Amino acid sequence: MPTLAIVGAGPGLGAAVARRFAREGFSVALISRDQGRLDALAEELAGDGVTARGYAADVRDGASLDDALARAAAELGPITALQYSPLPSRDYLKPVLDLTPDLALEALRFSALGLIHAARAVLPAMRAAGEGSIVLINGGTSVQARAGFAGTSVAFPAESAYGEMLHDALSEEGVRVVQLVIPGAIPKLRYTLDEVADRIWGLHAGAEEFRTMLIPLDEGRE
């Protein structure tokens, strides 16, 4: 059975994506920091017929993320799809004049370096199989900096740059690396969680361009 790993899994979009991929025959590895919440989410999803397990890891700790993804692949099956969508700390949404080097480095570990660890963990199997996808979920500061959201304005573009380079490097190997930019809180947009999950399934199944905007940037705010 193919496996979707959701890094940053939660009861909102993560759960909706888990249900959408499960309808296509995927098992789901749920990854975030709190094992108790992951277990509760996996139990909830089981009630909807989703085969899901939780694996606690902090994306700022590369070794724990590597271990979680390895355990997920061993227990559930090869990771054919990876969604990288951890929710940034509110500390990363401070004004630029309050951004310290330490906070900027933490934001980079959270977004860019976490993605690099996750990608390097799943890509060998995807490349060997000649198929797979990595889907980045980012806010609007990935494409337009905002002085009031300094941490993500520094870190999201670095994450995006790495993803776009992977997209180009793997384009001939059957492995898709794509990004969905959601410039605002989903409940305030014109899409439901299930509709966004459908969009993410479509990106996994056949996107060719690296970046897709859920809505135009000027219609939404982080």
How do residues 148-183 score in pLDDT, each as one tens digit?
999 999 999 999 999 999 999 998 999 999 999 998
Closest CA to 214 of 110, 120, 154, 143: 143
Q: What is the dihedral of CA 53, 162, 170, 179, to 10 degrees?
A: 60
**Where do the DSSP E strands lie in the chain?**
3-7, 27-32, 52-56, 79-84, 132-138, 175-181, 211-213
Check residue 62 and give its pLDDT. Answer: 95
Which structural domain range is residue 185 located in? 3-219
How do residues 114-156 score in pLDDT, each as one tens digit?
999 999 999 999 999 999 999 999 999 999 999 999 999 999 9
| Overall domain count for the chain | 1
- Judged by average pLDDT, the poorest of 49-53, 71-75, 158-162, 183-187 is 183-187
Per the prediction, the chain carries an average pLDDT of: 94
For the cut 70, the answer to whether the pLDDT of residue 86 exceeds it is yes
User: What is the DSSP secondary structure assignment for residue 100, as one 8-state letter?
Assistant: -
Contact 80, 132 (CB under 8 A): yes
Contact 107, 60 (CB under 8 A): no
Contact 114, 86 (CB under 8 A): yes
Q: Domain holding 38: CATH number?
A: 3.40.50.720
Check residue 220 and give its pLDDT. Answer: 53
Token digits for 41?
A: 């989410």
Give the separation between CA 133 and CA 82, rounded to whole angstroms.
Answer: 6
* H-run or E-run covering 127: helix 114-129
pTM for the predicted model, two decimal places:
0.94
Check residue 222 and give its pLDDT. Answer: 44
Give the separation between CA 122 and CA 204, rounded to whole angstroms.
Answer: 15
